[in-house]
Amino acid sequence: MRSGCFVRLISGFTISVVLTLLPIYGYRITDFSSVPTTVKTVENDTVLLPCYHNGPYSSIRWLREELLLADTGNPDFTPPERVRLFTNGSLQVANVKLEDTGEYLCQIASESGLAMQRHAIEVQYPPSVISHPSGEVAMQVGSIFEIACEARGVPFPIITWKRPSDNGSDLDHVESRRRLLVEVRSRGDAGNIQCKADNGFGLPAVAGILLIVQFTPEVKAEANVVHTKIGFRATLECSVTAEPSAVVHWFHHGVPLSDSRRILRQDSVVAPRSPDHLHTQSRHLLIVQNVQENDLGMYECKAENKVGIKGAIIELTGRPLPTIFKASPIASTPMTHNLIWQTESLSPLTEYKLRFRQVPTGNVGPHYRLPPADWTELTVPAEFSDGPIHTTGYTLRGLASASVYEVVVSSRNRYGWSDASKVVRFATAGEIEDATIVSTETIEYEEIVDNSISDMGSSGNFDYSTSNSATVQEASKITLGVTCFVLLIYWKSLYLVVRN
């Protein structure tokens, strides 16, 4: 054990001796009063590299890498232009050029041998950068490509990347990473991809590409169902977003539509491609003048570009719009509930189908619920009204008190049934046994906002697709409807009282 330690001590000593002796034989640092320096400078400056020896010497030489710059031992040697050796040993490089960057070696010959000292000149200059590829680059979604940025500058610049999908923040701070692999995932990747070269000297330089992402057109129908009436004008509308811009074709029951005097197309560019959004947005209308019975049915607008094809379905129908329940101002009794609903239909309504069911209450919890009762269906004949908004009141009787019910209604005209209304809930009056019901169930009428009939522009009389006046007009109609309803009830009860 002891001998092991000894051996290690010996070997440690040997190594340190070798390390200390090496510089003495190599460079003889101790002979100099000047120290090795890297002189940072700029173009056209004048630089002085010192080489001050402590003792007497016979000659001094300067070398730049292998190239001799000055030699006092050789009087015939002429230093290159801009280079000058002073008698005190310093080397001056005047009016420096970018290519003067490098290592400079001073050699001093004395009695004790050759001593050397290294210096360096770093001519700083601002960064510059170029990218491959550059300019506008069009790529389809799914493609992968590489951008390389080649930077120059002293000190050597650090390259950072920036992509639009990274919200404008710097992507990578990886030093001198010259290549970026780009995967085009979605059209959101379109935009400038930049590499920035910065070396802390002068302004950073920027290069890169404008990535144009090519994608299958995106098609959206303005309304998936357009309600109309024979003799009206109907407009079907599709919005298309595409790059490259798309060509749109219309189909009726799968058959391509050709222009006719009655069926017109209108295509317009809403927003052309611009640096802000690198795709084209367009609007495509199909206008059916004087709608005929056989114009009704399924339409499709199909948008196509070199990447793909995509369509949107629009139904042109004479059916009523989905009915909307309105809050009834008449207080319900424990056994009855008053309903008011409103339907938009351009053609007279023939009947309503009202369905209701009791929703089980009591012992309900988030994980335990009784299944609701079966729906009870009622047919309510429609009274004649001019429309297009038809308001109807109906009283459900024989209900259980303090109970929750769900109700849904659809309406019919000569073209068929409307889609069902939203299911709404109400509670009958009475003492509620389980108070938790009230807080866990929403017993309110849902507000249904969308109640516009598409394109009634040509009819003149009913242009209530614009919001404000329409709301007022509609509101007054409701009030009127409600008032009639109240009067009707009042009159009926009077009648009953009198008869009894």
Ligand X SMILES: *[C@@H]1O[C@H](CO)[C@@H](O)[C@H](O)[C@H]1NC(C)=O
**Stretch of residues binding ligand X (CB under 6 A), selected from 36-44, 59-67, 294-302, 396-404:** 36-44
Q: How far is the CB of 97 from ligand X (least distance, A)?
A: 9
Residue 224 parent element (H or E): none
**Stretch of residues binding ligand X (CB under 6 A), selected from 7-15, 85-93, 155-163, 422-430:** 85-93
86 lies in the binding site for ligand X (CB under 6 A): yes
Helix (H, G, I), strand (E, B) or coil at 47: strand
Q: How many CA atoms lie within 13 A of 198 on its CB side?
A: 12
Residue of 90, 128, 347, 452 that binds ligand X (CB under 6 A) = 90
Q: Which two tokens stand for residue 408?
A: 């849904």
489 φ, ψ to 5°?
A: -60, -50
- Please list every residue from 248 through 287 that binds ligand X, using CB under 6 A: none
Q: Are 154 and 122 in contact (CB under 8 A)?
A: yes
| CB count in 10 Å sphere of residue 403 | 20
432 lies in the binding site for ligand X (CB under 6 A): no
Whole-angstrom Cα distance, residue 30 to residue 26?
Answer: 11
- Please list every residue from 151 through 190 that binds ligand X, using CB under 6 A: 167
Nearer to ligand X, 163 or 284 (CB): 163
- Please list every residue from 52 through 71 that binds ligand X, using CB under 6 A: 52
42 lies in the binding site for ligand X (CB under 6 A): yes
- Please list every residue from 344 through 403 that binds ligand X, using CB under 6 A: none
Task: Tell me whether residue 392 is exposed, middle or buried, using C-beta atoms within 10 angstroms of its C-beta: 0 to 12, 13 to 18, 19 or more.
Answer: buried
Q: Which two tokens stand for residue 97?
A: 């050029």
482 φ, ψ to 5°?
A: -65, -45
**Stretch of residues binding ligand X (CB under 6 A), selected from 42-50, 224-232, 332-340, 446-454:** 42-50
Q: How far is the CB of 411 from ligand X (least distance, A)?
A: 43
88 lies in the binding site for ligand X (CB under 6 A): yes
SS3 content of the chain, % helix, strand, coil (to 5): 15, 45, 40
Whole-angstrom Cα distance, residue 328 to residue 330?
Answer: 5
**From residue 314, how far is each of 216, 237, 241 by CA, in Å?**
20, 8, 18
**Stretch of residues binding ligand X (CB under 6 A), selected from 84-92, 136-144, 249-257, 283-291:** 84-92
Nearer to ligand X, 50 or 311 (CB): 50
Q: How far is the CB of 90 from ligand X (least distance, A)?
A: 4
Q: How many residues in total does the chain contain?
A: 500
Nearer to ligand X, 258 or 274 (CB): 274
44 lies in the binding site for ligand X (CB under 6 A): yes
Nearer to ligand X, 52 or 417 (CB): 52
- Contact positions toward ligand X, by CB under 6 A? 42-44, 52, 86, 88, 90, 167
